[in-house]
Structure 1
Amino acid sequence: MESNDAEKVGNKEIIHQLISFAIKHRKIMQHYLDKTGVYHAQHRLLMEIARNPNVSQNDIARSMDVSAATIAVSLKKLENKGYIRRETDEGDNRLNKIIITEKGNNVVEQSKQIFKQTNQKVFEGFTYDEKCTLFVLLQKLDNNLNKMEEEIKSKKERT
């Protein structure tokens, strides 16, 4: 980067670049993931179920930080389309285990390939050292945001 460019780069410009990257990345990912036949929220849900076999609806809601009602709607759609099935827990009839089907696993595998290919393209031309530096810098940003979240949380608890 030339010195004239470096002088123009402030916090606002860096934040704008990070947000712009996140928006573009999400649009591109959505374009490729749409080909799997599963919507964004359903896709996230399928990936979560694949990572946690026989998970309960409540556990999914907690891990994804959404309401059980929201999860129920998405699960119903996934079940109707044959991506998952539910089985009653033998130990507790009130609980349903969510099981991914072969059709669901196919989408998960397809998605993993999409993630892998996209990640390779995003980091094309980066050296290992550049990726390490970027990772460390992003961790610093994340730590600062974590501190801010904790401040907000503690202020809410005091009021």
Structure 2
Amino acid sequence: MITASPDGKNVVLANLSVDVLEVYSNKGDTVCILGGPDGFETTVKPHDVGGGRTFPLDPVFFAYRDIKGLTNEMWASYAGIEIVKGEMPISNKVLPNKIYCFSWQGVPIRKIELDIRFLSFAIDSKNMKLYCLVNVPKIRVIEYDMSKIKI
């Protein structure tokens, strides 16, 4: 996933399978690379398939799912789930229930942990609202008052 700061000075890349956030300036300079909260250790294992190769990770993780850029902060939703070989993950369990907030220089600001797992989120910073798209028990949008969220 990728997003930019509203002023266009920075971009941040969030990785689904590795818990790393990468922040770059609009000039291509590395601002910071943030190791994730779980410090996933993965190995790339090349595998020949027909006339080509694949490069699967082992083990497989679900890390960051969505990322948003605000004026002074970036927000990244995080699942932190390892997929065990041979087991079919319950679809809702691989979704994030946490949002990590950092400054554009990589300084941690807050961690929001919600009681639900969500597909995506949006932030209305003017009205202090957090919106989460969920799919259990049915698809709907849940609204949170950010002034009342425990951080």
**TM-score after normalising by structure 2:** 0.22
Instruction: Kindly indicate whether structure 1 or structure 2 has the higher relative contact order, using CA contacts under 8 Å at least 6 residues apart.
Output: 1
Q: Which has the higher strand share?
A: 2
**TM-score after normalising by structure 1:** 0.21
Q: Which has the higher helix share?
A: 1
Which of these two proteins has the greater Rg computed from alpha carbons? 1
